[in-house]
Amino acid sequence: MEIKSDGYNQLGPSAKIIYDEAQKIGIEAKILNAEKSYLELSKAGKSFITTASRFPFLSAVSSSIACDKEMTNLLIDRAGIQIPGSKKVKTKTEALKIAKDVGFPLVVKPTKGAHGKGVTSDIKDQKTLETAVDIAFKYDKEILLEKHCEGTDYRLLVFNGKVIAALKRINARIFGDGKSTIEQLIEKENQNPKRGVKYQKPLQKIFIDEDTKEVLENQNMTLESIPKKDQAVKLKSRANQSLGGEIEECTDKVHPDYQKMVVDAAKALNLKLTGADVITTDITKPLKKTKGVVIEVNDAPGFQIHHFPTHGKPINVARIVLEYLFNIKNGK
């Protein structure tokens, strides 16, 4: 019988999954600090402390590097792995000047951060660029300008030198009914029982912001536009789950070239567990034919997207990691 400790509901989504899976395979799980998702896991004389999806095998140095996009790019590039070209800037004036040299389309992001906060993708004009730069500087004193790469966004989860799960990200979207405005369709979609906030549900609610308005403008639409019946309307420039995006499981479709690329990226940062974000035109084909790039490497990848994909089968990544941690074989 699973017992929920006090504070369980305050745990983050990955910590909840780890807590639940631990109990299922005979690992005692204690909540040390629910707000910060600290757990103590114990079995057969072994005891480990975790926070979110950070485990004891994660070094402080590797974690610090993974949280620094500039250092991450440096080490991945040095390992011969394709990344978007990027420039670091400290002022808005400098950013606008560098942008002219790099050329549109662009991506603007803080040098530190996660969950897509402060990031604007596929910037194609000066107005959008200025807004993106202002947003990024709210999250960090330094920001990166990158060349935007065309293709689909994927998350590949690497553990112990192997890709154990992969997902295709789909930008937040709505489908027209021929009579409702886009704003009304967003309100209706947010009533979907699968959507919630703070990762308490498989899908996150879609919030209207400046990015939404810019994306609609690029499609010659506004919030008052009425899409045709079944017409798909993109709502965000990025496909993050945190922004209301959908997730499609695709582990069996990943070409060996891409598996090797992200495993090499993990080794370059000395990360046993990492979520590598890749953009490519086709992840099922060889790297030379598709020119894919690694755009992010995360030291605390969310487990919920693999356990609760919008489309496709779930993969129990928490159990894979826990069985390794406690040397559990055949469930014992």
Structural domain spans, the chain:
8-57+319-325, 85-148, 172-236
- H helices within the chain, ranges in order? 13-24, 60-66, 69-78, 92-102, 126-137, 182-189, 210-218, 256-268, 287-290, 304-307, 317-325
Q: Per-residue b/e over 56-70, b at no fewer than 16 CB within 10 Å?
A: eebeeebeebbbebe
Q: Is the dihedral of CA 75, 77, 81, 87 positive or negative?
A: positive
Query: What is the average per-residue pLDDT within 85-96?
Result: 92
85-148: CATH number: 3.30.1490.20
CA distance 211 to 217: 10
Does residue 266 contact residue 275 with C-beta atoms inside 8 Å?
A: no
CA–CA distance, 281 with 101 (Å, rounded to integer)? 25
- What is the mean pLDDT of the segment spanning 132-155? 93
Q: In angstroms, rounded to a whole number, what is the distance separating the alpha carbons of residues 72 and 114?
A: 13
What's the predicted TM-score (pTM) here? 0.89
Decide if pLDDT at 240 tops 90: no
pLDDT, greater one: 199 or 169: 169
**Structure confidence at residue 331 (pLDDT):** 65
Q: pLDDT tier at 1 (50, 70, 90 boundaries)?
A: very low
CB 289 within 8 A of CB 171: no
Confidence of residue 199 (pLDDT cuts 50, 70, 90): confident
The whole-chain average pLDDT of the chain stands at 93
